[in-house]
Structure 1
Amino acid sequence: MKPLLSPPPIAPAERIQRLAKAKAMMRQQGLGAVFVEAGPSLDYYTGIQWWRSERLTGVVIPADGDPIVVTPFFEQPSIKEMLVVPAEIRTWQEDQEPLKLVADFLKERGVASSPIAFEETNRFFLMDRLKRQLPDTPIVSANSVVRAQRMIKSPAELALMQAAADVTIAAFRYTWPRVREGMGPGEIDAIIGEATRTLGGSYDGGLVLIGEGTAYPHGTRTPMRVVKGSNVLFDCGCSVHGYQSDISRTFIFGADPTADQRKVWTQMRRGQDIAMAAAKVGAPAGNVDDAVRGAYESWGYGPGYKLPGTSHRTGHGIGMEGHEPVNLVHGETTPLAPGMCFSNEPGIYIPGKWGIRLEDCFHITPSGPKWFTVPPPSIDQPFS
Structure 2
Amino acid sequence: MTIGVGGSDFATELGRIPNRRDAVPPIGAEEHARRLAAAQARMAELGIAALWLDGTTNLAWLTGLRHGQSERPVGAVLPARGALTYLCPAFEVERLKTMLTLPGEVRGWEEDEDPYLAFTDILRAADVAGGTVALDDLARVFVAEGMRGALPNHRFIASAPVTSHLRQRKSEHEVALLRQAMGMTLDIQAAAARALRPGVTTTEVGDFLAAAHRKAGFDSGPAFSIVLFGEATAYPHGVPYPQTLAEGDVVLIDVGAPLHGYMSDITRSYIFGEPSARQRQIWNLDHAAQAAGIAAARPGIAAGAIDDAVRGVVVAAGFGPGHKVPGLPHRAGHGIGLDVHEAPYFVRGGKEILAPGATGSIEPTIAIYGEFGIRLEDHIVITETGAAWLTAPAKSVDDPFGVA
> Taking structure 2 as the reference length, what is the TM-score of the superposition?
0.92
Q: Deviations over 1:269-291 (max 9, x none)?
A: 01111001111211111011011
Q: Distance between the aligned counterparts of 1:77 and 1:183, measured in 2? A: 49
Output the amino acid matched with 1:106: L
Output the amino acid matched with 1:141: A
Over 3 Å counting, the alpha-carbon distance change for 1:350 and 1:141 in structure 2 is: same
Matched, 1:163 2:180: yes
Shift of 1:84: 1.3
Q: Distance between the aligned counterparts of 2:314 and 2:148, measured in 1? A: 49
Asked if the contact 2:331/2:346 (under 8 Å) is kept, the reply is yes
Partner in structure 2 of residue 75 of structure 1: 92
Q: Distance between the aligned counterparts of 1:73 and 1:185, measured in 2? A: 46
Q: Distance between the aligned counterparts of 1:26 and 1:225, measured in 2? A: 54
Partner in structure 1 of residue 200 of structure 2: 183
Partner in structure 2 of residue 31 of structure 1: 48
* Higher RCO (CA < 8 A, seq sep 6+): 2
Shift of 1:99: 1.3
Asked if the contact 1:32/1:112 (under 8 Å) is kept, the reply is no
Segment drifting more, 196-205 vs 100-109: 196-205
Matched, 1:240 2:259: yes
Asked if the contact 2:203/2:242 (under 8 Å) is kept, the reply is no
Partner in structure 1 of residue 11 of structure 2: none
Shift of 1:222: 4.2
Q: Which of residues 342, 350, 354 in structure 2 aligns to 1:336?
A: 354
Asked if the contact 1:316/1:325 (under 8 Å) is kept, the reply is yes
Output the amino acid matched with 1:78: R
Partner in structure 1 of residue 221 of structure 2: 203
Matched, 1:219 2:212: no
Partner in structure 2 of residue 260 of structure 1: 278
Runs of 4 or more above 6 Å deviation: none
Output the amino acid matched with 1:244: M
Q: Deviations over 1:243-263 (max 9, x none)?
A: 01110001111x200000011
Q: Deviations over 1:6-52 (max 9, x none)?
A: 21111101101111111111111111101011011111111111121
Partner in structure 2 of residue 50 of structure 1: 67
Shift of 1:61: 0.5
Q: What aligned pairs does 1:325-364 form with structure 2 within 5 A after superposition?
A: 325-364=343-382
Q: What aligned pairs does 1:227-376 form with structure 2 within 5 A after superposition?
A: 227-253=246-272, 255-376=273-394
Asked if the contact 1:72/1:93 (under 8 Å) is kept, the reply is yes
Helix, strand or coil for the counterpart of 1:82? coil
Output the amino acid matched with 1:12: A
Q: Which of residues 141, 160, 163 in structure 2 aligns to 1:124?
A: 141
Segment drifting more, 285-294 vs 127-136: 127-136
Shift of 1:142: 1.3
Partner in structure 1 of residue 39 of structure 2: 22
Q: Distance between the aligned counterparts of 2:214 and 2:292, measured in 1? A: 34
CA RMSD of aligned residues (A): 1.2
Helix, strand or coil for the counterpart of 1:53? coil
Shift of 1:231: 0.8
Percent identity over paired residues = 39
Shift of 1:352: 1.0
Partner in structure 2 of residue 3 of structure 1: 19
Asked if the contact 2:56/2:139 (under 8 Å) is kept, the reply is no
Q: Distance between the aligned counterparts of 1:102 and 1:181, measured in 2? A: 59
Shift of 1:66: 0.7
Segments of structure 1 that go 5 or more residues without pairing to the other structure are: none
Shift of 1:373: 0.7
Partner in structure 1 of residue 401 of structure 2: 383
Output the amino acid matched with 2:384: P
Q: Distance between the aligned counterparts of 1:103 and 1:127, measured in 2? A: 13
Shift of 1:367: 2.1
Q: Distance between the aligned counterparts of 2:144 and 2:55, measured in 1? A: 14
Q: Distance between the aligned counterparts of 1:27 and 1:86, measured in 2? A: 22
Helix, strand or coil for the counterpart of 2:253? strand
Q: What aligned pairs does 1:55-70 form with structure 2 within 5 A after superposition?
A: 55-70=72-87
Q: Which of residues 146, 162, 165 in structure 2 aligns to 1:148?
A: 165
Q: Deviations over 1:333-384 (max 9, x none)?
A: 1111110001010111111110000100111111211111111111111222
Output the amino acid matched with 1:118: L
Segments of structure 2 that go 5 or more residues without pairing to the other structure are: 1-16
Q: Distance between the aligned counterparts of 2:95 and 2:197, measured in 1? A: 45
Q: Distance between the aligned counterparts of 2:338 and 2:148, measured in 1? A: 30
Q: Deviations over 1:100-143 (max 9, x none)?
A: 11111112222231110012111111122223322121111111
> Taking structure 1 as the reference length, what is the TM-score of the superposition?
0.97
Q: Distance between the aligned counterparts of 1:152 and 1:3, measured in 2? A: 29
Output the amino acid matched with 1:347: T
Helix, strand or coil for the counterpart of 2:161? helix
Asked if the contact 2:64/2:100 (under 8 Å) is kept, the reply is yes
Output the amino acid matched with 2:355: A
